Amino acid sequence: MTAYIARRLMSSLLTLLGVAVILFVLFRMMPGDPTAQVISPALDQAAQARLKHAFGLDLPMWQQFFLYLKNMVTLEWGQSFTTGQAVSGLLGHWLLNTLLLMSAGLILAVVIGTVLGILMASRRGGALDHVATVVGLVFQAAPPFVIGILLLIGFSYKLELFPSAGMVAAGTDLGSTWAMITSVDFLKHLILPTVTITAIYLATPMLVMRDSMLEVLGSDFVEFSRAKGLKPSRVLFNHAARNALLAVVTVSSLILGFAIGGQIVIETVFSWPGMGKAMVDAALQHDYPVAQAAFFLMAVVVIAMNLITDLSYSLLDPRIRFGTT
């Protein structure tokens, strides 16, 4: 087990290194001059040279690359070219906001989808099976901004049940993060974007769990469990569902990757101050420190979740080992 974890960790670190190299190259191939954000052409040559030296822009490219890797490892991401604020502080705030929103929606999607998949498989061909399949596929096919806008029109503008934008009411200062996320105001702002995310990603775990359950329910060990006289609910949840969960665990890491990309749309529709919009703004403004760190940080989140998924396999099925399957 220790060797298995070590190999997975090494694989993840190598993947992160590859992501860091790609980001370094891509942002320097983009059109435009990032130094224009901090170095005015009106300054004399001596002043421009001093500023380039302060930002390390006068170094050869290979030295900039190793300095960049060092900063990524030590989390010394410098200051934003556009705001002058520390990048680490900005990213910490944006990432927390995104994780609060994303985790709420994805957890609900996976939990509800998994339970529905189990019930659909146990009632194959029934009303629940047909209705849940149609509704799930409709939500999956609909563009995220359409679902979000319809929810805003219906529940925010027409019925006025929920706020339409932001995380808390404008001008509200709740102090600590804990005070904010436990406040009624924050929970009201969280409901509509969370429902949107849940609706978008519900179909995948639901249908995967349904198909996996149908396969497992025809297995010999399930028939043996029934022959022993075990309760149908125990056979369904304790025996069949546990073995069928591997497929959902696998697809959950894929959902996370798609969710990070789709988060930009959700955060824009609901004016949620997270990583999505910040990444786009930084890329458009050639704010290298913010853009590189933001994309790298999101890559860390995705790779970490994939690592957790891989390691969870061995807990659900001890037969699975790296390099032996």
What ranges make up the beta strands (E) of the chain? none
pLDDT of residue 29: 74
Instruction: Judge residue 212's burial from the number of C-beta atoms within 10 Å of its C-beta, 0-12 exposed, 13-18 middle, 19 or more buried.
Output: buried
pLDDT in tens, 87-126: 888 888 888 888 888 888 889 998 999 889 888 888 888 8
Tell whether the model's pLDDT for residue 325 goes beyond 50: no
Rounded to whole angstroms, the Cα distance separating 38 from 48 reads 9
Checking if the pLDDT of 239 tops 80, the result is: no
Neighbour tally for 138: CB within 10 Å: 12
Say if residues 303 and 12 touch (Cβ distance below 8 Å).
yes
Average pLDDT over residues 188-210: 90
Residue 79, SS3 per DSSP: strand
Cα–chain-centroid distance for residue 168?
22
Q: What is the mean pLDDT of residues 264-282?
A: 81
List the Cα angle 313/319/324 in 5-degree steps. Answer: 95
Strand partners, 79: 86
What pLDDT, on a 0 to 100 scale, did the predictor assign at position 33?
A: 57
Q: What is the pLDDT of residue 43?
A: 62
pLDDT at residue 263 is higher than 60: yes
C-alpha 213/C-alpha 240 separation (Å) is 7
Q: How confident is the model at residue 32 (pLDDT cuts 50, 70, 90)?
A: low
Residue 134's pLDDT band (cuts 50, 70, 90): very high
Question: Does pLDDT of 35 surpass 70?
Answer: no
Confidence category of residue 162, pLDDT binned at 50, 70, 90: confident
Mean pLDDT of 230-247: 74
Which residue ranges make up each domain of the chain? 12-74, 92-316
pLDDT at 62 over 60: yes
Q: Which residues are registered as beta bridge partners of 86?
A: 79
Residue 322 has pLDDT above 60, yes or no: no
pLDDT of amino acid 195:
92
pLDDT in tens, 294-319: 888 888 877 887 787 777 766 656 55
Fold of 92-316: MetI-like fold (1.10.3720)
